[in-house]
Chain A
Amino acid sequence: MLDPDTVRRILDEALRNGGDLAEIYLEDRTSLSLELEESQIEHALRGADRGAGIRVFYGDTAAYAYTDDLSSKSLLRAARSAASAAKGSHRTQVLDFTRCLSPLEFPIEKPLDSLSEREKAKLLHRIDQAARGYDPRVSQVQAGYLEYRQQVWIYNSQGLWAEDDREIVEIRIAVVAQDKGIIQTIRSGIGAQSGLEVFDRIDPLAEAQELAQSAVRMLDARPAPAGEMSVVMGNGWGGVLFHEACGHALEADFINQGSSVFAGRIGEKVASSLITLIDDSTLPARRGSFRFDDDGTPSQPTILIDQGVLKGYMWDLAEARKAKARSTGNGRRESFRYLPLPRMTNTIIAPGDSYLEEIIGSVKRGLYVKRLGGGQADVAKGDFVFSVTEGYLIEDGKITAPIRGANLMGNGPAILSEIDMVGNDFEMDKGFGRCGKGQRVPVGVGQPTLRIPKIIVGGTE
């Protein structure tokens, strides 16, 4: 995007007041989104975000400036702005850049532009028809299509030169069903870091019908119970449980601050021996994957918990510098407008050996969570919640009545130790997850079905 000489001039300028390390992050993102509701395409939007962020480290401090104007003049101005905030003690030389190459391939079979905008719009119409055609009680359908291509170039004064090219595509569907004054809504999505071939693998029309079926079924749902009970978490997207229950608390910024319940506990048993938790940014086609993170560190799998024992945290460059640790390639940012933070990528629980029937059959009275909404975590207390959008009672080992949405709440460290059955039915989510920690980035989760012997269900009965 920029020639190395220009980059060098900018980094030199950024280091003119001293500093330990200077970096430039260049981004070119183009996006398309289409939104359907009321059976019509209402919004069609294209966006272009081009810009650069310049960061100067001096000690544990990062001075940052960004610009959405990529002219040399404007980039040099941003470099001066970052430099003016930096107060380094020594001059740092900008080394020659060596391009880092990644062995990872994220193949694209059907490029995003192999369908026209109109054909993409038609796909949303077919989704709408599929959901409405399922049952007359389906009263509204929202369907959104989003694609973007994000190209990034990262250079730093230690000679780092990394490039990445990330293409994300997703379809989000919400189905509203209405009958006798009761309204229920179920939302989900499908997507991938790939081309449009993801919609050959997961049929959006079948997904729409499945959501319609769930929404209609939820019309008969009884209010959820309140209080402590056993919960069986479904596989796939159910992995958001771990994302919230312990994932955030294993991000290095909370560890360095000393605010996480897991700070200083490496080597300790923090979970049931059945639990192995991995964050892996190298998985092909997954939303949380990349070749290089937004600090330019190569992606890697990181074992966080191995058979119950805490093995590691997720580090980005800034937090690793503070603790004299090595980055695990978890530095991510929403765009050039933000500094990177340590973030999860694709967070997965390794499979166990229990069968689904066995897990359900073992519960006398509890809840089967088939579909989860989002979740939230309090890293200091270790508490987390997530909302159940489709759940069923389990009575005497059998799935019975659907129950209306309720939050489940638990304490991460407590729940981790208590999990007593892990299924053999590992699955990744369908590729629409997004995590917000002040900045939004795409993430993946995956897990087998598992049993939590007791967790608080926030119902009304």
Chain B
Amino acid sequence: MDYLRLAQAVVEQVSRKGVEAEALIMAGQTTMVGVNKGQVEQLSQATPKGLGVRVIKEGRMGYAYTSDLSPQGVEESWRDALTLAESADPDEYRSLPQPQPIEEEDLALYDPALDTVPPEEKVALAKEVEEAALSLDPRIVATIRCTYQDEAWHIYLANSRGLADSYERTVTATYLRAVARDEKSQVAGLGVGLSNFYGELDPTAIGQEAGKRALELLGGKPLGTQRATVVLDPFAGAELLFFISEALTGEAMQRGRSFLLGKLGQKVASEAVNLVDNGRLPRGYASAPFDGEGVPTSLTRVMEGGVLNHLLYDHYTAQKDGTRSTGNATRGSYRHLPRVSPTNFYLEPSPLSREELIRGVEAGFYVKSTLNTGGINPVSGDYSVAANGLWIEKGEVTKSVSGVTVASTLGEILKNITVIADDLRFVPFYGSTGAPTIRIEGMQIGGK
């Protein structure tokens, strides 16, 4: 079926009711493989698809979605959206964006070869990942959820202002936790690899990463309660930046939900801090030629030399601030309304290597993994996580640390970032946020 035609047909039909209309159709293919102890635990395959219809009637917005693309399912959906718009309140800034020219450039998002990879090969890859972890060291005794996953999506978007466009993207990923055990302790370490291109996943490196991250944390002991220098590895850094990015949208500012409220144009971080959101990053996990409502994606320099210069906008929040959308309307799927959020958001690396960064630490806590839920709050600015990692003494790693908390506030952390390394890495668990290794002064460690 020609889905772009169908999306346009839905838009034409609905807009006859005197409303603005938008239709998004996504059709895809997914495979998921789970292995454990060399056995396939699950092999799941599907070809999902669905439609989301957005209607704006005199500033009132209604939305409906369905996975049923039969003529009846489609009609039920747009009629629901029309009816629902009546229940919403009018808002003068609510409208759909005009189509804009989209730069022709290859963002390297789609791997046509993925379609030709047989499931057996994907199973073999997942087994290889697990084997790489288990064979690294006899102390690696198990893996948790060793998974290979891929998705290919065709995305079609049309609106009543004349937009009709489409693109396609693929993503392949494998991840696992490796469990290391000795007489006294048991620790899990995470390994993850992600690429738009199937052939670029390195199963050995991913499995070994999980194993190494578990092994180095074996035998960890708590520290005494103290204030100390903290080094965040890219996993912990990406988590931190993800929550900071949530405070940097036009929406968070307009609604007073940001610890940086009223700080636009001010110096809020150390000189070393340059934060970038780039929706056009080639091979970026969150890259796309246009965003969830059809606006071209872009590169936004959010913080430069520690100064908060720009916010992230979708069409609605931009209208409200009298500015242009930065192409940050994202949507998880056709089941979701577009919402303003970061794309590929990262802290710019410096030329310094990680080893040099570590060597410069007189005494400090090198955080390798965190547990956090709600402990990082982009509204109040509180930061508190449980952490495992390594202790650094005179530039050398000396022992493993576990069972402590690390706390500060997001505002203090931004000001106390003193050194940034060159090892920028994107971590898919927090949107598509990237961090190099970061050194932060004076954080509070809670322990014995």
Contact = CB atoms under 8 A, between A and B. Distances in A.
Interface of A: 34, 37-38, 40-51, 59-69, 78, 81-82, 84-85, 117-118, 120-121, 139-140, 176, 178, 182-185, 224, 226-228, 254, 257-259, 261, 318, 337, 339, 373-387, 389, 404-407, 409, 411, 438, 456-461
Given A42-B91, A47-B64, A381-B185, A65 B407 contact: no
Contact of A405 (B142, B256, B261, B380): B380
Contacts of A62: 41-43
A401 B383 CA distance: 20
B142 A259 contact: yes
29 contacts: A34-B87, A44-B88, A46-B64, A48-B76, A61-B39, A62-B42, A65-B44, A66-B46, A69-B68, A117-B84, A184-B380, A185-B379, A224-B407, A257-B144, A258-B141, A261-B186, A380-B177, A380-B187, A384-B371, A385-B375, A387-B373, A404-B380, A406-B384, A407-B384, A409-B386, A438-B145, A456-B404, A457-B405, A461-B444
Contacts of B409: 460
Contacts of B259: 183
Which of A38, A337, A339, A380 is most buried by chain B, counting CB atoms within 10 A of its CB?
A380
A36 to B, nearest CB: 8
B430 to A, nearest CB: 14
Given A47-B66, A176-B256, A383-B403, A407 B386 contact: yes
Contact of A458 (B375, B377, B402): B375
Given A68-B50, A139-B256, A44 B63 contact: yes
Nearest to B373: A374
Nearest to B371: A385
A351 B352 CA distance: 57
B407 A459 contact: yes
Contact of B382 (A51, A375, A384, A406): A406
Interface of B: 36, 39-50, 61-69, 73, 76-77, 80-81, 83-89, 91, 119, 141-145, 177, 179, 185-188, 222, 225, 255-259, 261, 335, 337, 371-375, 377, 379-382, 384-386, 388, 402-409, 444-448
Contact of B373 (A38, A43, A44, A375): A375
B255 A37 contact: yes
Contacts of A64: 42-45
A226 B444 contact: yes
Contact of A46 (B84, B256, B379): B84
Given A38-B255, A378-B188, A458 B374 contact: no
B371 A376 contact: yes
Contacts of A456: 222, 386, 403-405, 446-447
Contacts of A337: 46, 48
B144 A44 contact: no
A417 to B, nearest CB: 16
B120 to A, nearest CB: 9
Contacts of A176: 255-257, 379
Given A118-B87, A409-B403, A44 B61 contact: yes
Given A67-B46, A407-B372, A459 B384 contact: yes
Given A383-B402, A407-B371, 18 more contacts: A44-B85, A45-B65, A46-B65, A48-B67, A51-B67, A63-B43, A69-B67, A69-B69, A85-B45, A176-B255, A176-B257, A183-B259, A183-B379, A383-B386, A389-B374, A407-B384, A456-B446, A457-B446
A118 B141 CA distance: 57
A26 to B, nearest CB: 13
Contacts of A385: 371-373, 375, 385-386, 405
10 tightest CB-CB pairs across the interface, nearest first?
A458-B405, A373-B374, A387-B374, A68-B67, A226-B446, A407-B375, A409-B386, A380-B188, A40-B89, A227-B225
Contacts of B67: 48-51, 68-69
Contacts of A457: 405, 446
B346 to A, nearest CB: 24
A175 B286 CA distance: 31
B87 A48 contact: no
Contacts of B405: 226, 385, 406-407, 409, 456-459
Nearest to A218: B380
A276 B43 CA distance: 38
Given A61-B40, A257-B142, A407-B385, A383 B88 contact: no
A405 B142 CA distance: 36
Which of A37, A261, A405 is most buried by chain B, counting CB atoms within 10 A of its CB?
A405
Contacts of A387: 372-375, 384
A380 B371 contact: no
A456 B224 CA distance: 11
B267 to A, nearest CB: 17
Nearest to A338: B44
A459 B374 contact: no
A183 B144 contact: no
Contacts of B381: 183
Given A65-B46, A404-B380, A460-B408, A42 B373 contact: no
A459 B382 CA distance: 9
A43 B337 contact: yes
A43 B372 contact: no
Contacts of A49: 67, 335
Contacts of B143: 257, 259
A405 B43 contact: no
Contacts of A339: 42, 44
A361 B384 CA distance: 28
Nearest to B79: A46
Contacts of A81: 45
A373 B373 contact: yes
B68 to A, nearest CB: 6
A458 B407 CA distance: 6
Contacts of B119: 84-85
Contact of B39 (A45, A60, A139): A60
A185 B46 contact: no
B174 to A, nearest CB: 14
B318 to A, nearest CB: 16
Contacts of B141: 258
Contacts of A373: 373-375
B261 A183 contact: yes
A405 B377 contact: yes
Contact of A41 (B49, B68, B89, B380): B89
A70 to B, nearest CB: 8
A50 B258 CA distance: 38
Contact of B66 (A48, A84, A389): A48
A374 B386 contact: no
Contacts of A254: 144
Given A46-B64, A47-B65, A227-B446, A409 B43 contact: no
A338 to B, nearest CB: 8
A387 B218 CA distance: 26
A121 B407 contact: no
A126 B385 CA distance: 36
Nearest to B383: A460
B77 A48 contact: yes
Given A47-B66, A85-B119, A459-B444, A41 B87 contact: yes
B73 A48 contact: yes
Nearest to B379: A185
Contacts of B225: 226-228
B415 to A, nearest CB: 14
Contacts of B48: 66, 68, 337
Which of B46, B388, B447 is most buried by chain A, counting CB atoms within 10 A of its CB?
B46
Contacts of A375: 373
B65 A48 contact: yes
A53 B173 CA distance: 23
Contacts of A140: 255-257
A118 B84 CA distance: 9
